[in-house]
């Protein structure tokens, strides 16, 4: 694509000069690539704020401190875990299953050398010519994203310390192993599995880990009534949720275009646009679907539809046309509405819709690469091979991550407990876990009710 777009410029004479022939000197390329990688990494970092706001906003005020604290500390935990062991397991030289070098993000490395010129222990990242610490920083913010997805699904009943411990395990081990398979030179990368920016590697892994946690935890008290009905538990702050979703949309312009890890003009322009169009289509299709299914355009569905579109385009944002992005996003927006309804029907209590957004659409987005890819996509006459690779990846990562997460959650439950007491859950985790309120001075309805009862 780049060659075609540059065709006009390449007609300029003076091809004798090696600099001119290349157009961009090696040192200049390192500079612009590093700028791009660092700036997009910062945008992805900011997604922590987005997740914190969406997840706390869609839950109750009495648990807001707890959710904010979880979403905040999870990136600190991710930073240490990924620095110490996760990065080595994911990208260090090793075998088909995991990396075995690069602990503490150290070891031989002559980045920004690339390709055959690269000599070091992180060979799986030798395709990008930026300094090692830029590579690590970019991958770290991705790892943090996977961990923060879990927070929303297990919200309003998990013990604070149990969540922190699981975050260390997820980022240091589970995510790193799954990521090694697809991005670190592991076996999945050898069967043609394509997941450009992480519909599976980041979002589905986060989603599977969350699903395991939700199952071990059980639903919140009062969510599913004895008579079989489901009680809606409205979020306490739609301003938070909306701002958070816009921050996530912004962050995705780092997430997807930054995954080039190179300032390739045509590629990053296409990816940025595909990302945006899928989000827009997901937003509108979820609005319509919610309107039809629920009678009104529910704002939380509008927001989750947008996120669904973003998750779904993540795997194929570099490989599909703008038109396909619109279609993928539109499907994702409908999927998320019905997924939310489905999970409630089977009594899997996910307070913020994280499973519907990240797990369901992470899988769909990964599959969509097989269907819509300009080169090799089933719907574009490419046959079934690409789709098959995608299905293998979806299934393998799903089984492995779900199993590892289930074991981790059970171990945590046995060793330190996983769920707060029923009394603490009713009173709110903010007082029980943190000894404070999120909105001191504001009168809450449940407080009034308590006063009335007393």
Q: Which residues in 419-448 contact its own copies (CB under 8 A)?
A: 433-446, 448
Helix axes 361-372, 299-314, angle to 10 degrees: 50
Task: Reduce the DSSP state of residue 378 to 3 states and report it.
Answer: helix
297 scored as a contact of its own copies (CB under 8 A) = yes
Residues of span 314-343 touching its own copies by CB under 8 A: 322-323, 326
Contact range with its own copies by CB under 8 A, out of 3-11, 205-213, 312-320, 342-350 = 3-11
Helix axes 175-183, 205-217, angle to 10 degrees: 150
361 scored as a contact of its own copies (CB under 8 A) = no
The CA R_g of the chain, rounded to the nearest whole Å, is 22
Query: What are the helix (H) ranges across 203-295?
Result: 205-217, 238-255, 265-294
Residues of span 117-136 touching its own copies by CB under 8 A: 117-119, 130-134, 136
- Smaller CB separation from its own copies, 100 or 294: 294
- Smaller CB separation from its own copies, 226 or 451: 451
Q: What DSSP designation does 327 have? A: H
Binding test (CB under 8 A) with its own copies, winner from 225, 226, 229, 239: 239
Token couple for 280: 């827009």
CB of 401 to its own copies, least distance (A): 24
- Smaller CB separation from its own copies, 52 or 153: 52
295 scored as a contact of its own copies (CB under 8 A) = yes
CA–CA dist 314, 363 (Å, integer): 11
Residues of span 396-415 touching its own copies by CB under 8 A: none
Token couple for 46: 């900011």
Helix or strand holding residue 364 (H, E): helix 361-372
Residues of span 10-29 touching its own copies by CB under 8 A: 12, 14, 17-20, 22-28
- Our measurement of the distance from residue 284's CA atom to the centroid of its chain's CA atoms, rounded to an integer in Å, reads 21
- Smaller CB separation from its own copies, 347 or 446: 446
CB of 415 to its own copies, least distance (A): 18
Report whether 352 contacts 336 (CB < 8 A): no
Cα angle 232-238-241, degrees, rounded to a multiple of 5? 100
CB of 287 to its own copies, least distance (A): 6
CB of 315 to its own copies, least distance (A): 19
Number of residues that bind its own copies (CB under 8 A): 131
Task: Reduce the DSSP state of residue 220 to 3 states and report it.
Answer: coil
CB of 86 to its own copies, least distance (A): 13
> Measuring CA to CA, which residue among 152, 203, 204 is closest to residue 351?
152
Q: Binding pattern to its own copies, positions 55-94, x when CB under 8 A? A: -xx--xxx-xx--xx-xxx-xxx-xx--x-----------
- Smaller CB separation from its own copies, 215 or 250: 250
Binding test (CB under 8 A) with its own copies, winner from 181, 193, 249, 343: 249
> Measuring CA to CA, which residue among 53, 350, 392, 450 is closest to residue 189?
392
CB of 313 to its own copies, least distance (A): 13
Q: Binding pattern to its own copies, positions 26-45, x when CB under 8 A? A: xxx-xxx-xxx-xx-xxx-x
Give the residue carrying structure tokens 């690539």.
33
Cα angle 351-355-206, degrees, rounded to a multiple of 5? 115
CB of 297 to its own copies, least distance (A): 6
């Amino acid at each position: 694509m780049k060659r075609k777009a540059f065709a006009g410029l390449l007609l300029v004479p003076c091809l004798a000069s090696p600099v001119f022939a290349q157009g961009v000197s090696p040192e200049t390329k390192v500079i612009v690539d590093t700028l791009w990688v660092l700036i997009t990494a910062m945008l992805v970092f900011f997604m922590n704020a987005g997740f914190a706001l969406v997840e706390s906003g869609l839950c109750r005020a009495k648990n807001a401190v707890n959710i904010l604290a979880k979403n905040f500390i999870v990136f600190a935990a991710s930073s240490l875990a990924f620095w110490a062991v996760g990065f080595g397991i994911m990208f260090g030289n090793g075998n088909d299953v995991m990396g075995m070098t690069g602990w503490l993000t150290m070891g031989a490395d002559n980045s920004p050398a690339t390709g055959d010129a690269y000599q070091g222990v992180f060979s799986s990242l030798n395709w990008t010519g930026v300094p090692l610490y830029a590579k690590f920083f970019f991958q770290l913010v991705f790892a943090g994203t996977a961990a923060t997805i879990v927070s929303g699904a297990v919200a309003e009943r998990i013990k604070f310390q149990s969540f922190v411990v699981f975050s260390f395990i997820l980022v240091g081990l589970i995510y790193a192993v799954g990521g090694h398979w697809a991005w670190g030179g592991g076996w999945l990368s050898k069967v043609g599995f394509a997941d450009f920016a992480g519909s599976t590697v980041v979002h589905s892994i986060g989603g599977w880990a969350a699903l395991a946690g939700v199952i071990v935890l059980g639903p919140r008290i009062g969510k599913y009534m004895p008579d079989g009905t489901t009680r809606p538990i409205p979020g306490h702050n739609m301003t938070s949720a909306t701002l958070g979703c816009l921050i996530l949309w912004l962050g995705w312009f780092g997430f997807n275009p930054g995954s080039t890890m190179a300032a390739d003009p045509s590629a990053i322009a296409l990816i940025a646009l595909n990302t945006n169009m899928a989000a827009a289509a997901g937003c509108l299709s979820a609005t319509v679907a919610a309107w039809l299914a629920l009678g009104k355009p529910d704002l939380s569905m509008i927001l989750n539809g947008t996120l669904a579109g973003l998750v779904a385009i993540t795997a194929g944002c570099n490989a599909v046309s703008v038109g396909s992005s619109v279609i993928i996003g539109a499907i994702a927006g409908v999927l998320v509405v019905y997924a939310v309804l489905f999970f409630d029907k089977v009594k899997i209590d996910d307070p913020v819709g994280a499973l519907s957004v990240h797990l369901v659409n992470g899988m769909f987005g990964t599959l969509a690469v097989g269907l819509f890819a300009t080169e090799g996509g089933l719907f574009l006459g490419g046959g079934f091979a690409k789709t098959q690779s995608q299905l293998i990846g979806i299934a393998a990562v799903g089984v492995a991550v779900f199993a590892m997460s289930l074991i981790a959650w059970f171990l945590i439950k046995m060793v330190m407990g996983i769920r707060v007491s029923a009394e603490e859950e009713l009173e709110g985790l903010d007082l029980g876990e943190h000894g404070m309120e999120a909105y001191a001075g504001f009168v809450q309805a449940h407080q009034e009710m308590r006063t009335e009862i007393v």
